[in-house]
Amino acid sequence: MANKKAILRRLSLDLIGLPAPTSLREKFLQKDEPITYETLVDSLLISPQFGEKWASKWLDLARYADSKGFERDPNRSIFPYRDYVIKSFNANKPYDQFVTEQLAGDELVEPPYKNMTDDAIEKLAATGFLRMA
């Protein structure tokens, strides 16, 4: 059985890809009433870094890049798609909804595209998936 420091390090690197925040580390390692393992996991799962780490795997599969792939290529404005993926992971969006929005998000938004809600803008940004390859 690993000691508490090793558990904290492994769990933090696994879930958020970074060492645990100082305040969380101190609470978990303190001798008087430390936080439980379950609370530690929940704290790491709700941190914004969780979505950033796990979204990177999806973005790699979708071939996300800020440029067209060559050093002299101009930058693209595809970052709303990246932000959509990170936000979806942090919100624990259901997989079927996540995939549907990426493949048909523009069909889920009613025209005209004036005065769109944040949800409609997010669905349109999700179709950035189709622009990756």
pTM exceeds 0.75 for this model: yes
Q: pLDDT tens-digit profile of 35-84?
A: 888 999 999 999 999 999 999 999 999 888 777 666 676 667 888 999 99
Query: How many Å separate Cα 105 from the centre of its chain?
Result: 19
Rounded CA gap, 87 and 122, in Å? 10
- pLDDT above 80 for 11: yes
Q: Amino acid letter at 102?
A: Q
Rounded CA gap, 127 and 133, in Å? 12
Rounded CA gap, 12 and 16, in Å? 6
Other C-beta atoms lying within 10 Å of the C-beta of residue 127: 19
- Going by C-alpha positions, the residue among 62, 48, 64 that lies closest to residue 15 is 48
- Going by C-alpha positions, the residue among 52, 86, 91, 7 that lies closest to residue 24 is 7
pLDDT band at 86 (very low <50, low <70, confident <90, very high): very high
